[in-house]
A = this chain, B = another copy of it.
Amino acid sequence: MASLLTLHDDRLFSVDEAVRQIARRIYAETRDLPIISPHGHVPPAWLSENLSFDNPTRLLLTPDHYINRILHANGVELSQLGVPVTRTDMTEADNRAAWRIFCEHWSDFNGTAMRYWLTDQLVGVFGVTQRPSAENADEIYDIIQAWIDDESHRPRALMDQFNIEFIATTDDPCDDLHEHDKLAADAEFAAKHRVAPTFRPDKYLVPGKEGWNDLADRLGEVSGIDVSTLAGFTEALENRRAYFKAHGAVSTDHGIQDLDAAYLDTQEAERLYAKARAGQLTTAEADALHHHLIMDQVRMATEDGLTITLHPGSLRDHDRATFAKYGADVGCDIPHAIEVTRATREMLNAFGNHPNLNLVLFTLDEDVYSREIAPLAGFYRSVYIGVPWWFVDAPESIMRFKEAVTEMAGFSRISGMIDDTRAFCSIPARHDMMRRMDAAHLANLVALYRLDEDEAIEQARKLVVDNPKKVFKL
């Protein structure tokens, strides 16, 4: 007889009964608030085309590197899970086999964030009632498949059911955003849901890297601006930012190795740009020009008002063999230490108190929460503390974050929840987790007589509503 899989209504609240009761009361005030998701990776076509999720493996396993990596570590080949997502050769038998492998490894997820989100989805979204195992893998597969096949579970309908008011996608600067146009043109849908693009120019800002020259050319074509000089390249970027803004974008997002940014003088910058176009940059010059371009993105943000989010600190594709075989984003990006205080000094001295700039600093290096990011956000008006993402977006990690930044910077300097996910059906679970952690943290403050309960409730609502609206100018 299989064990039951259940969702307890008090999950994640304090173990102490008195604190738990306070947490319940705080959470009751935020649990049903609409979801605002200002940064994530849901493909816009899912929504504009209202695509079916296909099958359980393709929905839950193949694209989710959080899950794949743990299975890989425990001996599973990524190919067995359907990776990479671009594959079209997975049969139903393959998908069922992948699902069975996952169910067999269920206990390998004990204690992880993935286990938490999966349980929330399995029980709360798909209606599964048994703990996954080799024995019931097919039965659970069938339940989820039936759910997927129900027309009422297409992405647009789920936007209602999941109560998602705002969601941002992540897009290439040269994208024409026609998916977004299509969504905006659907008056009924658009009246209740806003789907905004996000300008993510990473690849365009690393001169000297393979393929960069072609990207620069493409930027020129799409914008209709001559990019033979840095002045032109800059104008082309501004042009595309304006295009994104006109199509509803509220932010630009930047995955970077570190936070270094500094302007070159104009002449030197043009000289390096010319060398970059000629394929002659040294590594040091490439870094210098990259740091110049990052700095200039911040300057543009002060002008067009798009919020800027910075995500440093991940060494992408750590395992070269896996990258060669499966491509990027398959589970072998590994965090590393970052430095914030010195790296951001030029950037923040130039723009850190600019009235039109909102800059969100994310990190995978927990050390910098209390030491660097919270102190910076507690002084500079433009700086907001990014909530935990990726490896650190789990309950105890989130509590460490809250305990690290709140005492120094208060709640007003926090970005609000960012789910950063491409796993559409996990969005409610992720936002709910954060609301539960908000309640758990605030309940502790109340129980320790550091905050009154009415203040805690007001604060919880602000974290869910006011903070993201302010930081992303919604």
Residues of A within 8 A of B (CB): 3, 7-8, 10-19, 69-70, 72-75, 107-113, 115-116, 131, 315, 318-321, 331-332, 334-337, 339, 341-342, 345, 348-349, 352-353, 364-367, 370-372, 374-381, 383, 391-392, 394-397, 400, 403, 406-413, 444-445, 447-452, 454-455, 458-459
Contact = CB atoms under 8 A, between A and B. Distances in A.
A375 B353 contact: no
B111 A445 contact: yes
A11 B392 CA distance: 30
Contact of A73 (B318, B391, B413): B413
6 contacts: A3-B452, A69-B378, A111-B410, A111-B411, A318-B379, A336-B339
B11 A319 contact: no
Contacts of A339: 336-337
A335 B111 contact: no
Contact of A448 (B15, B108, B365): B15
B111 A381 contact: no
A261 to B, nearest CB: 15
B459 A110 contact: yes
Contact of A335 (B19, B73, B372, B381): B372
**Which of the listed residues A111, A131, A413, A445 has the most CB atoms from chain B within 10 Å of its own CB?**
A111
A107 to B, nearest CB: 7
**Residue among A321, A371, A412, A458 with most chain B CB within 10 A:** A371
A114 to B, nearest CB: 8
Contacts of A379: 69, 72-73, 318-319, 331-332, 334
A386 to B, nearest CB: 15
Given A75-B381, A366-B367, 13 more contacts: A11-B448, A70-B410, A73-B381, A73-B412, A110-B459, A112-B407, A315-B341, A321-B353, A335-B371, A335-B375, A365-B371, A370-B392, A400-B403
A111 B342 CA distance: 27
